[in-house]
Amino acid sequence: MTEKSIELNVKRLYLPGVVLKQKCKKCGKELTMDLSVEYLSYPCTNEPFAVCFGCDSCEEENMYDYVLGLTLTGIDAQEV
């Protein structure tokens, strides 16, 4: 990861349409996290952070790492 990490001063980052899916490491149940309902708290970009997936079958707390990338694109960018 060569890009600099940026701390987003966002208390609750919702990402509607993004659903994270993982498997419970203990019982194998599919776990989902819908980021239109749940949120990332003060996320940083370009730096791995752990997301906790609690399993409601066996109560295992599964930690999986994610990286948030952020891209800003000029839609009427001029050729220089």
Query: Considering beta carbons, is residue 24 or 40 the nearer one to Zn ion?
Result: 24
Q: Of 22, 34, 60, 64, which one interacts with Zn ion (CB under 5 A)?
A: 60
Provide the minimum distance between the beta carbon of 38 and Zn ion in the complex, in angstroms, as a whole number: 18
x/- track of binding to Zn ion for residues 16-55 (CB under 5 A): --------x-xx-x-------------------------x
* Residues recorded for the chain: 80
Buried/exposed 1-38: b ≥16 CB within 10 Å, e otherwise? eeeeeeeeeeeeeeeeeeeeebebeeeeeebebebeee
